């Protein structure tokens, strides 16, 4: 009898051990969660130990229910980010907040602190015909804000908006929505801003008058280099912690080779050698669009009759050969608008109407990888079709452009019927999804004074802020041996400055 009952006893024993093991393992996991939470590292657990864990979400919610109420965690930009509300439910950041969930924080501990050089007015607002009075360096923004010239000048006006934003932070009643503030003590600053209107200088003063040997633009660049390299702030860091705007591809053409340690704000890297400008060191900023923003857009897939739209210069040099190739491939398609156009006469008005009534808008590389056309398309909620293999895009470290843009390799685009077949294959549902996303991100490319929450001005400052840790890392590394005596050719020792490294 005992022998017959032995197998049953073994089974019962095994089940008991299994239940005990399961229960013990669960207690072990729960105890580790509580221990790690007590070290104030819940983000470490979520991101490192248990990525995407539903169990952790349940446990975390149960613990949080006993704690005091806290606001929802603010996500990074993009509709893939998730907010967790006080009921523990997940919701898309782009649908829960306007502008994809971006929120500006005016707490002084969180804002970007910027030291700005008091450059003479000839470098900035003097280029706008503003004349200083009483020894003032900057205009009184409470009285009048100097006007920036319109037309194509506006597309590279980034320097103007950033400078205004810093000046506004010092007003008696500064705007509530701001991400960057000006500080007067350089030791408090995260970065040092150089307020040279380099794009405006190129656009207005790059031509040589008959009585001149050099253009005023070149003269100003020489003066800028002399001024900056003589400042103690530049000497201390070798320029590594300086920020310079050179958004027009031809701006700062002469000075860039001497000021390259600084961080540049650019439209692309098309005319820069990689050792002078690159995506690791520098910031890509959007153009200011010149077509009118499509306000209260209630379009549908059917209400936009033009399938594909392009209007601009067709014959370009350098990498712009694709424009003429595509012109010959697409010019006879009945629902495609591919035509030559300029900003003269009614050019901007025509482009506005054309983009607002088109489903897709072509953005093809021209003389440089980028163009203002992309940002005109975004403002028009016309899904951009980007044909530019070397393009760099603003905020792409936090924004997924594939959610609202179509990317096509140049080698594929110039194949017969490839592009048109690809665009025709995109149906109503997919287009509508991208069209809605364009409206969600549109504000990231709008420039305002005063700046507004999540607009282009604040998004650029945020992009700069993300570069600050890397800047400080390089700067600190450069100082490792700054106190090591070095013998010169006469046998005497000296203490090197950081600029020697």
Mean pLDDT for the stretch of residues 104-109: 50
- Nearest-10 Cα torsion for 92, 93, 98, 99: -120
Element (H, E) at 1: none
Residue 389's closest CA among 403, 409, 371, 414? Answer: 409
Among 105-109, 227-231, 307-311, the least confident range: 105-109
Beta-carbon contacts of 456 under 8 Å, excluding residues fewer than 6 positions away, are 161, 285, 286, 288, 444, 445, 446, 447
Average pLDDT for 308-320: 78
Evaluate if residue 494 carries a pLDDT over 70.
no
pLDDT tens-place string over residues 350-388 = 999 999 999 999 999 988 999 999 999 999 999 999 999
For residue range 180-221, list pLDDT tens digits in order: 999 999 999 999 999 999 999 999 999 998 888 999 999 999
Helices (H), 409-496: 410-413, 418-424, 428-441, 456-478
Give the mean pLDDT of 121-148: 95
Task: For residue 12, name the pLDDT band (cuts at 50, 70, 90).
Answer: very low
- 30 has pLDDT over 90: no
Asked if the model's pLDDT at residue 492 lies above 60, the reply is no
What mean pLDDT comes out for the span 147-168?
95
Q: If you write DSSP's letter for every residue of 409-428 in order, what string do you get? A: -HHHHTSTTHHHHHHHT--H
Q: How far is the C-alpha of 232 from the C-alpha of 249, rounded, in Å? A: 29
pLDDT average, residue stretch 293-298:
96
Give 24's pLDDT tier (boundaries 50, 70, 90): low
Q: What CATH homologous superfamily does 306-445 map to?
A: Glycogen Phosphorylase B; (3.40.50.2000)
Q: CA-to-CA distance for 278 and 283, rounded, in angstroms?
A: 9
Neighbours of 4 (CB within 10 A): 7
What's the pLDDT score for residue 13? 54
Q: What is the mean pLDDT of the chain?
A: 82
Q: CA angle, corner 286, sides to 283 and 292, nearest 5?
A: 170
Task: With cut-offs at 50, 70 and 90, classify the pLDDT of residue 497.
Answer: very low
Which distant-in-sequence residues (6+ apart) come within 8 Å of 328 by Cβ? none
Pairing of strands 486-487, 493-494: antiparallel
Positive or negative CA dihedral for 478, 484, 485, 487? negative
Strand 112-116 to strand 82-84: parallel, antiparallel, or no bridges (unpaired)?
unpaired
What pLDDT does 61 receive? 38
CA 273 to CA 419: how far, in whole Å?
31
pLDDT of residue 101: 46
Give the pLDDT of residue 168: 97
β-pair partners for 469: none
Q: Under the phi-then-psi rule, with left for phi > 0, alpha for psi from -120 to 50, and beta for the rest, what region is 247?
A: alpha
Amino acid 491: pLDDT: 52
Rounded to whole angstroms, the Cα distance separating 488 from 238 reads: 21
d(CA 272, CA 109): 35
Identify whether the C-beta of residue 277 lies closer than 8 Å to the C-beta of residue 247: no
**Cross-strand partners of 486:** 494
pLDDT value, residue 403: 98
Instruction: Look at the block and give the residue holding tokens 């530019």.
Output: 388
Confidence of residue 320 (pLDDT cuts 50, 70, 90): low
Show the CA angle centred on residue 316, arms to residues 256 and 385, nearest 5°. 95
Per-residue confidence at 140, pLDDT binned at 50, 70, 90? very high
User: How many Cα neighbours within 13 Å face the side chain of 76?
Assistant: 10
For the cut 50, the answer to whether the pLDDT of residue 70 exceeds it is no
Residue with tokens 């149960």: 62
Q: Comparing 320 with 469, which gets the higher pLDDT?
A: 469
pTM of the model: 0.77
Q: Token pair of 195, please?
A: 């307020």
pLDDT of residue 75: 32
Range 380-400 average pLDDT: 97
Residue 475, pLDDT above cutoff 70: yes
Residue range 248-257, pLDDT digits in tens: 999 999 999 9
Q: What pLDDT score was predicted for residue 134?
A: 87
Sheet holding 112-116, edge to edge: 180-182, 112-116, 191-194, 242-245, 263-266, 283-284
Q: What is the mean pLDDT of residues 455-479?
A: 96
Report yes or no: 324 and 345 within 8 Å, Cβ to Cβ. no
Q: Which residues contact 335 (CB under 8 A, 6 or more apart)?
A: 305, 306, 307, 308
- Cis peptide leading into 450, omega within 30 of 0? yes
Q: In this predicted structure, what is the pLDDT of residue 314?
A: 83
Task: Outline which parts of the chain fall under CATH 3.40.50.2000.
Answer: 306-445
Half-sphere exposure of 314 (CA within 13 A, CB side): 16
pLDDT bin (cut points 50, 70, 90) of residue 318 is: low
DSSP string, 146-183: PPPP-GGGGGG-HHHHHHHHHHHTTSSS--SS-SEEE-
pLDDT tens for 214-235 read 999 999 999 999 999 999 999 9
pLDDT digits (tens, 9 = 90+) for 427-437: 999 999 999 99
pLDDT for residue 393: 98
More confident residue, 48 or 23: 23
Residue whose token pair is 């509530």: 176
At residue 357, the pLDDT reads 97
- Rounded-to-integer distance, Cα 397 and Cα 463, Å: 9
pLDDT at 17: 58
Cα gap 435→20, rounded to integer Å? 56
As a whole number of angstroms, the distance between CA 232 and CA 244 comes to 17
Does the pLDDT at position 448 exceed 80?
A: yes
């Amino acid at each position: 009898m005992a022998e017959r009952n032995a197998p049953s006893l073994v089974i019962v024993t095994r089940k008991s051990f299994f239940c005990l093991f399961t229960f013990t393992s669960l207690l072990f996991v729960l105890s580790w969660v509580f221990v790690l939470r007590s070290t104030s590292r819940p983000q470490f657990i979520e991101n490192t130990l248990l990525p995407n864990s539903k169990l952790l979400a349940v446990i975390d919610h149960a613990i949080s229910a006993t704690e005091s109420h806290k606001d929802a965690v603010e996500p990074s930009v993009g509709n893939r980010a998730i907010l967790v509300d006080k009921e523990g439910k997940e919701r898309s950041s782009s649908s829960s907040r306007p502008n994809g969930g971006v929120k500006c924080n005016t707490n002084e501990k969180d804002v970007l602190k910027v030291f700005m050089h008091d450059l003479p007015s000839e470098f900035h607002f003097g280029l706008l015909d503003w004349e200083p009075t009483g020894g003032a360096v900057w205009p009184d923004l409470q009285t009048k804000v100097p006007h920036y010239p319109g037309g194509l000048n506006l597309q590279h006006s980034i320097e103007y908006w950033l400078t205004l934003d810093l000046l506004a932070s010092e007003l008696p009643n500064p705007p509530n929505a701001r991400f960057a503030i000006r500080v007067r003590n350089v030791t408090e600053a995260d970065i040092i801003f150089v307020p040279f209107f380099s794009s405006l200088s190129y656009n207005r003063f790059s031509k040589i008058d008959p009585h001149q040997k050099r253009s005023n633009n070149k003269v100003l660049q020489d003066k800028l280099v002399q001024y900056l390299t003589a400042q103690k702030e530049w000497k201390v860091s070798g320029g590594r912690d300086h920020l310079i705007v050179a958004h027009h591809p031809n701006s700062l053409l002469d000075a860039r080779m001497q000021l390259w340690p600084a961080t540049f704000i650019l439209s692309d890297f098309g005319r820069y050698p990689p050792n002078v400008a690159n995506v690791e060191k520098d910031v890509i900023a959007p153009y200011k669009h010149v077509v009118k923003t499509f306000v209260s857009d209630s379009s549908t897939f059917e209400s936009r009759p033009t399938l594909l739209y392009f209007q601009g210069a067709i014959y370009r040099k350098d990498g712009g050969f694709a424009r003429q190739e595509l012109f010959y491939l697409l010019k006879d398609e009945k629902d495609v608008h591919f035509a030559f156009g300029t900003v003269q006469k009614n050019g901007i008005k025509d482009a506005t109407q054309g983009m607002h009534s088109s489903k897709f808008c072509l953005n093809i590389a021209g003389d440089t990888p980028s163009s203002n056309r992309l940002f005109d398309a975004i403002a028009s909620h016309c899904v951009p079709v980007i044909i530019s293999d070397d393009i760099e895009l603003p905020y792409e470290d936090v924004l997924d452009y594939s959610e609202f843009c179509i990317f096509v390799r140049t080698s594929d685009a110039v194949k017969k019927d490839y592009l048109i077949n690809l665009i025709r294959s995109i149906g109503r549902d997919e287009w509508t999804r991208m069209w809605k996303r364009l409206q969600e991100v549109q504000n990231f490319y709008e420039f305002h004074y005063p700046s507004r929450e999540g607009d282009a001005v604040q998004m650029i400052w945020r992009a700069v802020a993300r570069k600050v840790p890397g800047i400080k890392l390089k700067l600190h590394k450069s100082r490792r041996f700054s106190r090591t005596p070095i013998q010169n050719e006469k046998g005497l020792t000296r203490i090197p400055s950081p600029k020697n490294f």
